Chain A
Amino acid sequence: MVGPEVRAPRVRPTGHEGWARLAWPVAPRAPIEVRGWGWRYAGRRAWACRGVDFRIEPGERVLLVGPSGGGKSTLLHGIAGLLDPEAAAEVEGEIIVGGRPAGSDRSLVGMLFQDPESALMMARAGDDVAFGLENAGVPTAEIWPRVDAALDLVGFPYSGDRSTAALSGGEQQRLALAGTVVRGPSLLILDEPTANLDPLGTTTVLEAVDRVLAGAGSTLLMVEHHVQAALPLIERVAVLEPGGGIIDDGSPDAVFGRRGADLAKAGVWVPAPWGPSPPTPRRGPGSGPAVLDGRGLSARYAAGAAPALEDADITLHRGEAVAVTGPNGSGKSTLALLLAGLLAPSSGAATLRADPSRPLHRWRARELCRRIGVVFQDPEHQFLTSRVDAELMIAPRQAGVPAETAERRRDELLQRLGLDRLSAANPFTLSGGEKRRLSVATALTTTPDVVVLDEPTFGQDARTWAELVELCADLRDGGSALLVVTHDERFVDAIADRRVIADEGRLS
């Protein structure tokens, strides 16, 4: 979550000739009617959505907000006709798009997803855009001019031959947008399209959406974490209450004015005039003794490839939180892996002051986990057991911490992170915020000297975000050395004592 620091998209000059109609036909305008709709997934007791009633007129631009895990994504998938009826235990009501049940006409609706990496099908960018046209039966001669025009419209910076694997997240998402709008849908559904992107990617994607909407005159329905950045795109806000349907609906001014405080309390990132002001920055007690050194660290992932990180020097101190920022691919995460002893450098070494003769990547795992805790970007990569409380016993057992001490620490962490009532739950079934808190807890079980966090606030709601700030500040004040790799400027402002900028493999 990068929050309101993201630059808002340029507002398109009205009546500008440059944003002319699209160069291809657009599907007929279609209203959306959701009538008493509810959906319960097989194997779940609670309804993902229930009692949803609302109508969207053609050409309207609507933002759907609500607490995370409140069914927003399910509703969007329902309207796009992408829910598998076999995955439902119960369905109520109906969704009608353009007078017919949702999903009966794929050409009306285009949808963009949270993770562009798994929304691209082909190896070459142009082929990926052409895919949707082939499916629509567009004659071969018309396909390539339309592909080129669509790539141009979204500001895709390369030719159609570009490999889809060699794109940043923002470029991938713009490519997916091109592949969606080239089909000429009259309704565009966006499910947190910028949640996985850095600030630059977020801005470029939202600008591209704005251009597309202007060209096609489409209806827009979106869920977006970066509410502030999305505001210029929308004119109506609908609030979805978990299990309670749409509880408020109107202009952003009216809805955020009425419900700003409630929504913020529920974790929604309420934008500036209506939301709470950012927390007062907490600075550390002043840095203590040095604990970890990286000297001349370089790493490359393939022989002959450009180095991901080159000749990096950094020292971490007790009681200090260091933020590493920089664009995607700048070597931030590589630095974190090297300092955590999880990646062997091609030259240089990371060492602890306590044992400067042995580079960290040579340490045995059970020794390493005692001194350094790591929080990965995707919490699920870290889960190893089928119970929350068991997760917190793994590292202590490996490190040889006495069982009694480990259990005390486990209970303390569960309580501190608000997971005590979930101790018997399966980690994979937790909500996004709970997963994040558990993954942080797993890194703290051995009370390590150094804690390395890779994008801890990514995609988190405002409530989990505030808890993470508190937790990290407490850790730092308790004498740990913190290294946080992040795009989140608000997070940096809130806790970092020092910032290191990575750019093309160099630190400054």
Chain B
Amino acid sequence: MSVLAVPAVSDAAAPIARRSPLAKIAAALLPGLALLASIDPVAPAVVLASTLFCVPLCGVTWRALARRAWPLALAVVTLSLGNAVFTGRKGGETLLEFGPLLLTTESLGAGAAAGLRVAAIALPGVLAILTIDPVDLADALAQRLRVPARFAYGALAGLRLAPLLAADWQTLGRARRARGLAAGANPVRGVRLFAGKVFALLVGAMRRATRLAAAMEARGFDSGQARTAAREQRFDGGDAALVAASAVVTVAAVGLSVFTGAWNPLLS
């Protein structure tokens, strides 16, 4: 929880950071959808390079990004290596042969392409999530997409309880230890203990949620009156430009891939 408690965006006025959450989501989804259609190294390389170029514009420092995106980096590396080892394409020069393990220039290339593709699909999404404030998202959903307030702000209020649940979880563990209960090396006992903690956490979460719902009703959330918006969420020219830029990158990536002959559609 401690990593999530520190905001990732250090400059909220950065060109992309201050855009509408809806524009960020659309801009992150567009290239991903196109990349899903093909397995090739060129289009992902263009998208990934453009995304990396956008990192400073998102107001996210490289350090902050590294702190949060390392699991993704790890997954990409593992996936690349796995693909390089298990791919059927073993042409080119042999680099390493050890029993059944065979690495060639072609198999390494295939592995790198697979890793590149996953990174290029995921990184825009990671940037979008890091730069979207949940409150802005709820506002944008309610105001621009007419999502019912009950859903948008109900979910938002629930999100506020997440750190409290994390604290409860720790306390539940300590209370068990104080009563002589700990998993130790016994997996059966571990599972039972875990199940008990989950149950207790859910009971506590239900109570909190009930109290929160009462507090929201007391402030007229259920009054059925038309709500006004304290924070206006616009979708202006800058937001449209962000989506358009994303579309341009997507088209350029696919175009370059087709032009170089690398385009390799999945459904053909």
Q: Which residues of A are at the interface with B, using a C-beta cutoff of 8 A?
A: 77, 80, 82, 106-107, 109-111, 113, 115, 117-124, 127, 130-140, 143-144, 147, 164-165, 176, 179-180, 183, 301-303, 305, 337, 340-343, 364-366, 368-370, 372-374, 376, 378, 380-384, 394-395, 397-399, 428, 442-443, 446
Contact = CB atoms under 8 A, between A and B. Distances in A.
Interface stretch (B100-108, B118-126, B229-237): B229-237
B200 interface: yes
Contacts of B203: 380, 428
Contacts of A442: 179
Given A123-B135, A340-B178, A115 B160 contact: no
19 contacts: A77-B214, A106-B220, A110-B218, A113-B218, A121-B156, A121-B157, A121-B212, A122-B160, A131-B221, A133-B230, A135-B225, A137-B228, A143-B228, A176-B215, A179-B219, A301-B2, A305-B2, A376-B174, A382-B175
A372 B178 contact: yes
Contacts of B182: 364-366
A118 B204 contact: no
Contacts of A376: 171, 174-175, 178
Contact of B220 (A77, A135, A372, A428): A135
Given A82-B218, A121-B215, A368 B204 contact: no
A381 B168 contact: yes
A182 to B, nearest CB: 9
Contacts of A124: 135
B2 A183 contact: no
Nearest to A337: B174
B178 A374 contact: yes
Contacts of A428: 203
Contacts of B188: none
A38 B219 CA distance: 25
Contact of A342 (B177, B196, B228): B177
- 10 nearest CB pairs, A to B: A398-B180, A369-B180, A365-B182, A132-B219, A130-B230, A135-B220, A119-B215, A374-B178, A302-B2, A106-B220
Nearest to A342: B174
Contacts of A369: 177-180
Nearest to A428: B203
Contact of A106 (B160, B196, B208, B217): B217
B220 A132 contact: yes
Interface string B200-224: 1001100010011011111111110
Chain B CB within 10 Å — which of A124, A179, A365, A366 has the most? A365
Contact of B218 (A109, A143, A342, A382): A109
B21 to A, nearest CB: 15
B225 A136 contact: yes
A165 B156 contact: no
Given A342-B177, A376-B171, A398-B180, A135 B229 contact: no
Given A337-B174, A365-B177, A372-B178, A106 B218 contact: yes
A416 B197 CA distance: 29
A139 B228 contact: yes
Contacts of B135: 122-124, 127
B263 interface: no
Interface bracket on B: 35 or more
A82 B217 contact: yes
A121 B216 contact: yes
A80 B156 contact: no
A137 B180 contact: no
A355 B69 CA distance: 45
B146 interface: no
Nearest to B178: A374
A123 B160 contact: yes
Given A82-B218, A119-B215, A124-B135, 12 more contacts: A132-B219, A134-B228, A136-B223, A179-B219, A183-B219, A303-B2, A365-B178, A374-B174, A381-B171, A382-B178, A384-B179, A394-B180
Contacts of B196: 384
Nearest to A77: B214
Chain A CB within 10 Å — which of B134, B218, B223, B227 has the most? B218
B176 interface: yes
B232 A140 contact: yes
A135 B180 contact: no
B241 interface: no
Given A303-B2, A394-B181, A442-B179, A136 B164 contact: no
A132 B190 CA distance: 45
A135 B160 contact: no
Nearest to A398: B180
B161 interface: yes
B163 interface: yes
Contacts of B218: 80, 82, 106, 109-111, 113, 180
B156 A122 contact: yes
A61 B252 CA distance: 71
Chain A CB within 10 Å — which of B161, B179, B181 has the most? B179
A135 B219 contact: yes
A121 B160 contact: yes
Contact of A144 (B164, B180, B230): B230
A122 B157 contact: yes
B164 to A, nearest CB: 6
A123 B138 CA distance: 12
B172 interface: yes
B81 to A, nearest CB: 30
Nearest to B197: A384
B204 to A, nearest CB: 7
Contacts of B220: 106-107, 132, 135-136, 183
Given A127-B135, A376-B175, A394-B180, A118 B230 contact: no
A115 B180 CA distance: 30
Contacts of B2: 301-303, 305
Interface string B136-171: 000000000000000001001100110110001001
A119 B230 contact: no
B226 interface: yes
Nearest to B161: A118
Contact of B214 (A113, A140, A144, A372): A113
Chain B CB within 10 Å — which of A165, A372, A384, A395 has the most? A384
Contact of A137 (B171, B204, B227): B227
A127 B230 contact: yes
A338 to B, nearest CB: 11
B261 interface: no
B36 to A, nearest CB: 34
A378 B184 CA distance: 26
A26 B171 CA distance: 43
B153 A121 contact: yes
